[in-house]
Chains A and B, each alone.
Chain A
Amino acid sequence: MNCAEFWNQMPELASGANPEHNHAAECPACAALLERQRRLASGLRTMAGDMRSVGAPPRLESNLLEAFRSQLAPAAPRPMRARWTPVFSWAAAVAAVIA
């Protein structure tokens, strides 16, 4: 592996996704570059950790829940009486006609 090939693998090397190649042991300049990239990656992880607790304000959850209920929540079951009302109405109408 030469320096260019080593440099091309830097994103994975810096994040530890790829194991370190022997090239770093042979080339002090690339070893120094890798070390800087790893320290940067470590700094970014610290920064990410600091921000982990940041999130949307609680009111957003309430707003969205309201939107969910109005758009997707299943409709409340109709009262039994409502379903029978038209039947009774028709029966009353028929009875009235017969009478």
Chain B
Amino acid sequence: MEPMRQEADEELLIRLRRGDEAAFLALYRKRQGALYRFALQMSGSAGTAEDITQEVFLTLLRGECGFNPERGTLSGYLFGIARKLALRQMERGRVDVALDSDAEELTLPELAVNDDPLADLTHREGIEALRRAVTALPRRYREVVVLCDLEELDYADAAAALGCPIGTVRSRLHRARALLLEKLNKERPKQAMGALKPARCEI
């Protein structure tokens, strides 16, 4: 039996703009989860994430939808709208400050049995520590980790969403991952730090 073909976002958009309710629902159900999670990671607030997700889809319904397939995929475009809305919320000072200050106060559980905090990433506590480390990243690094590592966008889609070149996405992702490793190390008890000192290259 032939698997059911998943209709491309762009085809769904054309149909929904003709008034096809099934196409609208299909597009919403396909994309809402990732957009909501992105907004949640960026804002730290379920209510804000819901508002942002709603506004993204309302934009599609309005005449002002400026999606151009020559400039990227619909997915990248939708994440771009979500990001702008999240930034607007942050500029209002309601969300990001609280999120970052919360992150500073977080304390990690004692994990002294392992020398390497990354070994903990196979355990629930380790994943929780990683989640907090992602939340505590500066916004420009957090967004690229959420898009590329958590929502698995490719560099091109992430670049469209962030409004920057692909090379910038790549370098930010590189830096973001280094920052995550640093944060996980800092959270470790001092006696276990030796194992993750920056290794010196011999070649």
Q: Which residues in B have their C-beta under 8 angstroms from that of A46? A: 121-122, 127
Q: Which residue of A lies closest to B151 (CB)?
A: A48
Q: How many residues of A contact B (CB 8 A)?
A: 44
Interface of chain B, main secondary structure: helix
- Whole-angstrom CA separation of A40 from B148 in the bound complex: 13
Kindly supply a per-residue 1/0 record for chain A positions 41-81, scoring 1 wherever the CB is within 8 Å of any chain B CB and 0 otherwise. 11111111011101111001101110111011110000000
Q: Which of A30, A36, A54, A65 contacts B33 (CB under 8 A)?
A: A54
| Cβ–Cβ contact A47 & B127, under 8 A | yes
| Cβ–Cβ contact B177 & A40, under 8 A | yes
| Cβ–Cβ contact A29 & B36, under 8 A | no
Interface of chain A, main secondary structure: helix
Residue A16, interface by CB 8 Å: no
Q: Which residues in A have their C-beta under 8 angstroms from that of B203? A: 2-3, 23, 26-27, 30
Binding site for A on B (CB under 8 A): 16-17, 19, 21, 24-25, 28-29, 32-33, 35-37, 40, 49-50, 53-54, 57-58, 61-62, 118-119, 121-122, 126-127, 130-131, 134, 145, 149-152, 170, 173-174, 177, 180-181, 184, 196, 199-203
